[in-house]
Structures are given as structure tokens and as C-alpha cells.
Amino acid sequence: MVGQKRRIGRGWTIGGGALLVAVACTPTPQSSSVVISDSISSGWIDATATLDPATTPVYEGDAPMKFDFLKDMRKGDGFTLSVYSMGAHSGTHIDAPMHFVRDGATIDRVPLEPLIGPARVIDIPDGVQAINAAELGRHDWKGVPRVLFRTRSSLRGWMSSSTFHRDFAYIAPDAAQLLADAGVRLVGVDYISAEQFSAPAPMTHRILLGKGIPIVEGLSLEHVSAGDYDLIVLPIKVAGHEGAPARAVLRKR
């Protein structure tokens, strides 16, 4: 275990990087379970778009979202049971290398390390559609392991609108190359693709995924300001496929 450890009351506080974990190891009379300090769960911002066929945009040509109840207590059934039908790239989701790399890792084989750790949210002005090398050069991102772009999609609330907007901000291939060459471990955007709509070739995806860099798409950043955060973004663990919906949370550093 890396970091320092000091005693607080009946628990241990374990310092590791920017995260602080406090665990009470002595069971209370009421319960023998381990108690986790509230400091772990406080301050987190949910950066996940709610999956809802009425409000979630679906990329043009992708599978529609269909949610239904097989059983419903509100209609007199003894329990409630749901069924979901949607594409793997619905709402907030992660693209694994397999998405555009023939022998790339599947979503269940993406390591945890890129998905958890320090991240920087970068504000891109509303008037910018192409996040190219020139635009990237206007921002402080070098040395940051995870880069998340907050764009016109957040300013206009597009991740909570069922209308698909073709003119979303995207990461141009030259910017993707700079990010990959700099050793960035994860890249995220606030609409359902990082690639320009109708791009002649998916070069941004090929560049990032070709370096094993997972892409988080469809982040909900409407209420997130630019700055440095701790990031946790975990996809559903689906065997053998190229992507999956994910839950993303941020906490200010």
C-alpha cells in the first residue's frame, strides 16, 4: 500500500494521492460491517446523462432506446421488473479500442487505471465546433493524464434533448494526435461522439483507440466548471464487445 497511514479514533485514515479513505475497523454493537467515512462519498458530481428515451439523444442510425416494464406494482403486479433495449453507445458511454481497432481490447478488458484518477475539464467556447490543434493550444492541458472537453453541447443542454444535433463539437484528428503523443490516458467529450459527424474516415477514434486510450462520450457537464477533478468512470462489464454505457462521477481537487 502506497502512502501514509495514521490512526483516527477507531479507524485508519489512509492517504493515497488526492483521495482520502477512512475505514472504521472495529464493529459497532449494532453491526459487524465495515463503516466507510462520509468523507469518501461527499463532494462527488454526477457527470452521467440520465438514460431516458424521452430525453437521451441517439446518434443518427444507431439503435433506438426502448424501456419497458414486464411487471409493474403500480398496475397491480406483485413486483416490478424492467427490460431495456438500447445501443452500446447510448448516453454516457465508453468506447473501447475494439470499436475501431480490429484486434483492439474489448470493453471488459479495458484496464481500470485509465478510468480512475486525476482529470482536467477544459472549457471550449460555444463558437468552436472543431477542437483542432490550434484550439487545443489555447488551453493548459499538457501533463494532464485525463482530458475532458466541455463544449457547446453542455452550454446548449444537448445531452438532455432527444433531438440529435449534427453540429456538435468534436475532436479533430490533429488534436487527437497531440493528446495521444503526449501520453494522455483518457479523453472525454460531452456529446455522443468525439468524431465529426459524417467525417470521411474515423481518424480521431483510430488515433486515440489505436494507442489504447479509451474515449468517454456523452458526459453530462452542464453544471461542471473548468478545472481539476478526481474522475471515476466505469462501464458496464460486457464480455467481447466494443463499448458500454458508463457511470461517471467527478470531485473537485
The total number of residues shown for the chain amounts to: 253
Active site residue 241: no
Contacts of 38 (CB under 8 A, 6+ apart): none
Q: For residues 126 and 95, what is the distance between their CA atoms, to the nearest angstrom?
A: 25
Spell 123-158 as b/e; 16+ CB within 10 A means b: bbeeeebebbeebbeebebeebbbbbbbbbbbbeeb
Catalytic pick among 89, 93, 99, 205: 99
Q: For residues 203 and 132, what is the distance between their CA atoms, to the nearest angstrom?
A: 13
CB of 231 within 8 A of CB of 248?
yes
Residue 192: how many other CB atoms lie within 10 Å: 27
Which residues carry out catalysis?
Answer: 99
